Amino acid sequence: MDIKLIVNGKTVSVNVEADEMLLTTLRNQGFFSMRRGCDTLNCGLCTVWLDGDTILSCSYPTFRAAGHEITTLEGLAEEASLLADCLAAEGADQCGYCTTGMMMSAMALRRKNPNPTDEEIKEFLVGNLCRCTGYESHLRGIRRYLGEVQK
Amino acid sequence: MNTPKQRQHVGKSYKKVDAATILSGRAAYTEDLIPPHALVIKILRSPHAMAKILDIDLKSALRLPGVEAIYTYKDVPQVRFTLAGQSFPEPSAYDTLILDQYVRYVGDGVAIVVAVDEKTALQAMQMIRVTYDVMEPVLDIHTALDHPTVVHPEEDLHYNMPVGGDPKRNLACSYSRVTGDIEGELAKCDYVVAGTYFDQATSQSAMETFRTFCNIDQFGRLVCTSSTQIPFHARRHIARALQIPAAKVRVIKPRIGGGFGSKQTACTELYCAFVTWTLKKPAVLIYDRHEANNCSTSRHAREWQIRLGATKDGIIQVIDMVAISDAGAYGTHAFTTFTAGEHKSVPLYNKGKAVRYESNIVYTNHMAGGAFRGYGATEALWPLECAVTKLAKKMGMDEIELRLKNLINVGETSLVYAPDEVLESGLLKEAIARAKEMARWDERPHSWQIDDTHRGGLGIALAFQGSGVANVDTASVEIKLQDDGYYTLYTGSTDMGTGSNTVLMQMACEVLGCPMEHMTCYEADTDVVPFDPGSYASSTTYVTGTAAKLAAEDLRAKLIRTFAKYMEVSESDIEFDGIMAHTKDGKQTMTTQELAPKLMVSFGHEAEQLVGFATWGSHTSPPPFMVGIAEVSVDTETGQVTPLDYYAVVDCGTVVNPALAKVQAEGGIVQGIGMALTEDIRYSPKGRLETNNFMTYKIPTRLDMGRLHVDFVESHEPTGAFGVKSIGEVVINTSCPAIQGAILNACGAELTTLPMNSEKVFQALMAKE
């Protein structure tokens, strides 16, 4: 079916199968910041925003996203670059494969709660798994980023 | 050479040189780079744990539009190989074919389906009819030896070196080393503890699953782009499996999404290479999470019988460790993970008179074991450190005091070391003192009541690891002065997210003197970079890093010689900071950017592109050292264990990049916490893997690991560049035994089987009552 998606503020026309998931559609459009890490909605690697809320694009049928505002990491370039820099300063990127999905959650958290406690950060990001870092460096990087944004 | 205080780069927390790109979402990983129109591969897998394929009916599947080809065991070369990534002489058994008439675990490959897209391939897979002769599977390590079912009945299984194997008895390999009189010394001991400890198979669970795409280049060669830790080993495997010269194969590793040893064993590469080489068309194979957990390799499960004997002066006289190990269906890393564990555990306590370290490593119909961070040391330190704690309790001694009494000192040897081998470096006692201070070990009880239903406890464990494989791991590094005056460092090591490219550049730039921005790094492309076994065995900083330093020294000497020639002064008159050379009198200057273009033409002077090169391997594998102190809370009503704080001090020699080293430590501790408390590869009674996704195989989330406190003490390892050892693996080794000790202290429950989930803790609490 032919549908229109609004990705990072731009309208794109795509032809999708009824069972196609948003993750596949976005990757086919050349957005690579979201990835598949599991088959069971556990890992959070595919996190994007739908109308400003985080969703797991691996299990979101593309046709349901028609007409909604989809935001990917690529669409938040400036803020994402600041967050990336703060994470990199802590060595928190490591393999990087899960990091971009986690960044989408972290930037969503800031919009909902600009002054979260450590526990609130951990709870909000609990659906973003990481196998490399042991998570502590994420926390340090996000603290650094929240401080930078408030400057 | 700059002293530590004067160093420009070594010891500085640079951001990873690839950080900006990988965090921008730009194409970097294998899946982002797949060529258009690549055929999609899916693998039809065995539903049986042990069976012989009698017939495969492909007729209807091949009629499905969009199916390009389907291959079975009848189509692939019948030459056995190993998927394990190891250097000559490859100690793992050659017991594997691309596809075999026998299937040896639920998930073993039966047919390779190639189609225009994934949907078609999956549909075709459903249409294949396979007739099996199903056999009684071997699913228990205790009855595997001489089981009526022989997992590898084939006559052409081959070992390159003696590893104590007898495949007809399901003995994949075996090892035994006894030094001293075990029973005689035990009889003289005042205290003896004994126990049976089990460490389970665990899944590396890199966030990026296994994936490979292949295409044919303009010369008709096979190009294999893969998420691998071992490009050169993978090239050799492909060449052997396809029976083509290795010169026809190029392997490239892009950015990869984690490895932890899982990608030290080839996985998707062979199927994909076979398809592309046969069809001469690009093809891609990506494992989903289910396949990644089910059809790769895991940590080997081991059951240990351990005995420690000590005299009343507190000296551990006897270490006796005998295991049965589960090789799984194939012998990948089966021998070396066991043997490596000896050298990385037993030497901690070197005052005794007798050591035995022994295991039968048996073939079963489980997924094959392989390499997982820690590589045998994690497994061996689990029973050893638990037993040392048990011994301390029995002797009424503080767990740390007993360890300090028996700890190896620098300059000393061990009963399991080579004849001329000693511990060359290590601030072991300093690390222990620092960890005690961080955890306030001496200032508070190690067992306390938190509230009505929770008790708190502290536990400790020590760990060694190695830095590369002594006399085996050998790396070459090349550094070129390019025509623009900038440097390119070429390495075959494989940064899997650790930041090893950054660390290698820090070490090379330290020698050359230039800023990091004057160098780029190109890695892991077998056509371009010099040989490196790949990134495993905690080798990269120590082995490849030392080669990088030597290559930089080689290039620096050549640069100074060349500047002297152009300025017509003697070499001793040149001072060079990596960018600019000047004569000591200050009258002449020349930059690398001025020099380099002149070297690319032949008038004036002879043209010569300047290249620094070095090959380096070590006669030794210096052990990094770690102290871990775990603080946990145990719910005495449910047995639930909650990690509260983890105090860790690591001596990895000189720390090249403190931020990256700290994250290595934190990541390792948390993987260890997962192994300690939740991660468990479990099979059904018929041998089907029950934990093949993140619902059932539970790796820690950020709410499961408590708070981490990591510090370093820096010894100077004389054999490593700038005094480095390694960090990557040692950091996973303390979690299991430290948490075991913490639970024991908290509530008296003595856990001997991993993972220590609430069910087992509850049962142990009940048993105590």
Closest residue in B to A100 (Cα) is: B23
**What is the count of residue pairs from A and B with beta carbons less than 8 Å apart?**
176
Q: Does the bond joining B89 to the residue before it have cis omega, within 30 degrees of 0?
A: yes
| Arithmetic mean of pLDDT, B427-449 | 98
The predicted pLDDT at position B430 comes to: 98
| Arithmetic mean of pLDDT, A129-133 | 98
The predicted pLDDT at position A151 comes to: 87
Q: Round to whole Å and give the CA distance between B223 and B283.
A: 11
Residue among B23, B30, B123 with most chain A CBs within 10 A, to mutate: B23
| Arithmetic mean of pLDDT, B604-610 | 85
Confidence of residue B4 (pLDDT cuts 50, 70, 90): confident
Do residues B719 and B424 lie in contact, with contact meaning Cβ atoms separated by under 8 Å?
A: yes
- Per-residue exposure over A42-63, b if at least 16 CB sit within 10 Å of its own CB, e if not: bbbbbbbbbeeebbbbbebebb
pLDDT at B18 over 90: yes
Which residues of chain B are within 8 Å of residue A123 when distances are taken between CB atoms? 703
CA distances from B422 to A138, B304, B357, B413, B722 (A): 39, 27, 19, 4, 20
Which residues of chain B are within 8 Å of residue A43 when distances are taken between CB atoms? 207, 694
pLDDT at B436 over 80: yes
Task: List pLDDT tens digits, range B685-699.
Answer: 999 999 999 999 999
The predicted pLDDT at position A12 comes to: 96
Q: Which of A39, A72, A97 sits opposite B207 (nearest CB)?
A: A97
The predicted pLDDT at position B132 comes to: 98
Is this structure's pTM higher than 0.90? yes
Task: List pLDDT tens digits, range A34-76.
Answer: 999 998 999 999 999 999 999 999 999 999 999 999 999 999 9
Residue A99 and residue B206: Cβ atoms within 8 Å?
no
- % residues pLDDT > 90 (chain B): 98
pLDDT at B672 over 80: yes
Residue showing tokens 């990049």: B657
Residue A35 and residue B257: Cβ atoms within 8 Å?
yes
Q: Which of B23, B659, B665 sits opposite A90 (nearest CB)?
A: B659
Which residues of chain A are within 8 Å of residue B293 when distances are taken between CB atoms? none
| Arithmetic mean of pLDDT, B658-668 | 98
Q: Round to whole Å and give the CA distance between B423 and A47.
A: 48
d(CA B34, nearest CA chain A) in Å? 11
Residue B663 and residue A90: Cβ atoms within 8 Å?
yes
Residue A38 and residue B699: Cβ atoms within 8 Å?
no
The predicted pLDDT at position B278 comes to: 98
* Tokens coding B209: 């699953």
Task: List pLDDT tens digits, range A78-123.
Answer: 999 999 999 999 999 999 999 999 999 999 999 999 999 999 999 9
The predicted pLDDT at position B768 comes to: 85
Q: Which of B13, B20, B258 sits opposite A131 (nearest CB)?
A: B258
**H runs (alpha helix) in B269-330:** 269-279, 289-294
Within 8 A by CB and 6+ apart from B61, the residues are B67, B70, B113, B124, B125, B127, B128
Q: Which of B31, B208, B670 sits opposite A134 (nearest CB)?
A: B670
pLDDT at B452 over 70: yes
* Tokens coding B692: 């093949």
Which residues of chain A are within 8 Å of residue B695 when distances are taken between CB atoms? 40, 42
Residue showing tokens 């830790």: B229
Task: List pLDDT tens digits, range B563-591.
Answer: 999 999 999 999 999 999 999 999 999 99
pLDDT at B2 over 90: no
Residue A129 and residue B207: Cβ atoms within 8 Å?
yes
pLDDT at B1 over 60: no
Provide the mean pLDDT of chain B. Answer: 97
| Arithmetic mean of pLDDT, B72-89 | 97
The full 3-state SS of B642-667, as one line of letters, equals EEEEEEEEEECECCCCHHHHHHHHHH
Q: Round to whole Å and give the CA distance between B117 and B496.
A: 29
The predicted pLDDT at position B769 comes to: 78
Q: Which of A95, A127, A129 sits opposite B256 (nearest CB)?
A: A95
- Per-residue exposure over B576-605, b if at least 16 CB sit within 10 Å of its own CB, e if not: bebebbbbeeeebebebeebbebbeeeeee
Edge-to-edge order in the sheet of strand B191-199:
B171-179, B354-363, B316-328, B302-310, B191-199
Task: List pLDDT tens digits, range B504-539.
Answer: 999 999 999 999 999 999 999 999 999 999 999 999
Q: Round to whole Å and give the CA distance between B468 and B617.
A: 9
Opening angle at CA B514, ends B511 and B518, nearest 5: 125
pLDDT at B674 over 90: yes
